[in-house]
Amino acid sequence: MKTICLYFEIHQIIHLKRYRFFDIGTDHYYYDDYENERSISDIAERSYMPALNTLHEMIKENGKYFKVAFSLSGVGIEQLEMHAPQVLEKLQQMNETGCVEFLAEPYSHGLSSLANEETFALDVKKQCQKIEELFGKKPTVFRNSSLIYSDDIGGQVAAMGFKGMLTEGAKHVLGWKSPHYVYNCNIAPNLKLLLRDVKLSDDISLRFNNPEWDGYPLFADNYVNEIASHPEDSQIINIFMELSALGIAQPLSSNILDFLRAIPACAKAKGIDFATPTEICMKVKSVGNLDVPDTLSWVDEERDVSCWLGNAMQREAFNKLYSVADRLRIANDPRINQDWDYLQASNNFRFMTTKPSNVGLDRGIYSGAFDAFTNYMNILGDFINRVNALYPLDIDNDELEGLLTTIKNQGDEIAVKDQEITRLKARLEKLEPASAPKAAKAEKKAPAKKPAAKKAVKKSEK
């Protein structure tokens, strides 16, 4: 029996403002607040809320049959909390149905998996804590930013304790193999891999409203018939896309939500189930290793990381950013850490690309790749100066880590002693009421002894 795994990404970047060279050292705020509020409010109204309302109704209509998964970047969650809390409230309502799963991903939606193993682990841990705080569940399946994956990254993800990971069903990786089976990481067999069906996903997210496409118009029954036509032993049909595809890439006027809403009934008629990534990882056995020595992603025709690191400007910005990763992690300053999350977001590097792409790229305030690079490097120059100013540069990372560890240990000792003082004070307060009556009796007895003392003095004078 075939099973559909439906997954949506929710991520919004923090828009950077125009930042000049002469702002370095004088202005430490890098963000365009107006554009951040405008963009997230717009996408929530035109895409997120209509799409989530439809998905919620699909769950209600189909009971436990229909299931869906989401992942939310930490920086995206922060934007939703500030400007569109109704989106998070709707996701929490959907979570109560038991038919929704939330996945782990890097908090920053950045490229830390390509740069620094410890930074990557902390990035993921931070997002997992946020997801658990919002939805009461600790993620067990991981998806990297833009489905970035390689054998080495899979090994790191497995070491974090995840059961499975989502990635791209790229032809240059699969060869003759099908994306409709569960595989496992080549160097960590316990980590199962779910591979995106490129065609079926892009039929919805990229081509649905294109009248020049030979599959136009696409109807739910035809879409499900194509799924049913795959070989009988096909296990999983992984349909992964951004949630913004429903309403932004494919406008609501195209009837994209009506199409989506009709899929469960058509699938049920063909004996096709729905399942979340964790359910699949728990129930379906792997058919074998997947060898991915080079990094892949779900972006552009190459399905690699060239859209972020394909030219000299991108690599210079990337290397300069992560050159302070260890020092920043050791220093652990809250304000610096927030800027670090925002500056890591992969979109910042995407704006610097010089590659042609079939998917339109909105560079926002930037006129081109070099303009994006210049603005980012100005901001990065100020940011790195702030990181270096936290502690003297003549202290190397090892010395700094030792110093801060000592300070932390001393702080822990002080905290323990403070707790002991608080405990003893509370104990003393309990004892004081019991000792008060005895003290009062002692005070009453003391005056009665004075006359006897005076008589004794008089007798001695006689």
Q: What is the pLDDT of residues 215-242, one digit of tens each?
A: 999 999 999 999 999 998 898 999 999 9
Q: Residue 47 corresponds to which amino acid?
A: S
Q: Is the model's pLDDT at 450 over the cut of 80?
A: no
Q: What is the pLDDT of residues 290-338, one digit of tens each?
A: 999 999 999 988 999 999 999 999 999 999 999 999 888 887 889 999 9
The phi and psi torsions of 237 (rounded to 5 degrees) equal: -115, 105
The interaxial angle of helices 256-269 and 49-62, nearest 10 deg, is 20
Q: Report how far Cα 422 is from the mean position of its chain's Cα atoms.
A: 38
Q: Is the model's pLDDT at 393 over the cut of 60?
A: yes
Closest by CA position to 70, among listed 88, 46, 82? 88
Handedness of CA 272, 278, 284, 287 (dihedral sign): positive
Rounded mean pLDDT, 85-97: 97
Q: Report how far apart, in Å, the C-alpha atoms of 461 and of each of 225, 448, 456 are.
A: 124, 22, 9
- pLDDT for 363 equals 86
Residues in contact with 269: Cβ distance below 8 Å, sequence separation at least 6, in sequence order = 224
Q: Is the model's pLDDT at 460 over the cut of 70?
A: no
Burial (CB < 10 A; 0-12, 13-18, 19+), residue 9, is: buried
pLDDT band (50, 70, 90) for residue 459: very low
- pLDDT for 329 equals 83
End-to-end CA distance of the chain: 119
Mean pLDDT score across all residues of the chain: 90
- Quickly count: other Cβ atoms within 10 Å of residue 220's Cβ: 17
DSSP track, 168-199: E--HHHHTT--SSS-EEESS-TTSEEEEE-HH
Q: Report how far apart, in Å, the C-alpha atoms of 255 and of each of 163, 164, 243, 258, 322 are.
A: 36, 33, 15, 5, 44
DSSP track, 112-172: GGGT-HHHHHHHHHHHHHHHHHHHS----EEE-GGG-B-HHHHHHHHHTT-SEEEEE--HH
What is residue 233's three-state secondary structure? coil
Rounded mean pLDDT, 128-142: 97
pLDDT band (50, 70, 90) for residue 396: low
What is the percentage of the chain residues whose pLDDT exceeds 90?
A: 77
Q: What is the pLDDT of residues 398-427, one digit of tens each?
A: 666 666 566 656 666 787 777 878 878 877
- pLDDT for 169 equals 96
- pLDDT for 360 equals 64
- pLDDT for 399 equals 66
Rounded mean pLDDT, 118-134: 96
Rounded mean pLDDT, 275-279: 97
- pLDDT for 113 equals 97
Q: Report how far apart, in Å, the C-alpha atoms of 312 and of each of 109, 238, 262, 370 are.
A: 22, 35, 47, 11
- pLDDT for 401 equals 62
Rounded mean pLDDT, 166-187: 95
| Residue 451 parent element (H or E) | helix 397-461
Closest by CA position to 182, among listed 297, 284, 68, 275? 284
Burial (CB < 10 A; 0-12, 13-18, 19+), residue 285, is: exposed
CA geometry: angle 320, 321, 324, nearest 5 deg: 90
Query: Rounded to an integer, what distance in angstroms lies between the CA atom of residue 127 and that of residue 106?
Result: 6
Per the model's pLDDT, the better-predicted residue between 161 and 432 turns out to be 161
- pLDDT for 454 equals 44
Rounded mean pLDDT, 137-160: 97
- Quickly count: other Cβ atoms within 10 Å of residue 214's Cβ: 6
Residues in contact with 210: Cβ distance below 8 Å, sequence separation at least 6, in sequence order = 216
Q: Is the model's pLDDT at 429 over the cut of 80?
A: no
Q: Report how far Cα 180 is from the mean position of its chain's Cα atoms.
A: 26
Query: Rounded to an integer, what distance in angstroms lies between the CA atom of residue 11 and that of residue 98?
Result: 23
Query: Rounded to an integer, what distance in angstroms lies between the CA atom of residue 447 and that of residue 462?
Result: 25
Q: What is the pLDDT of residues 357-366, one digit of tens each?
A: 656 678 889 9
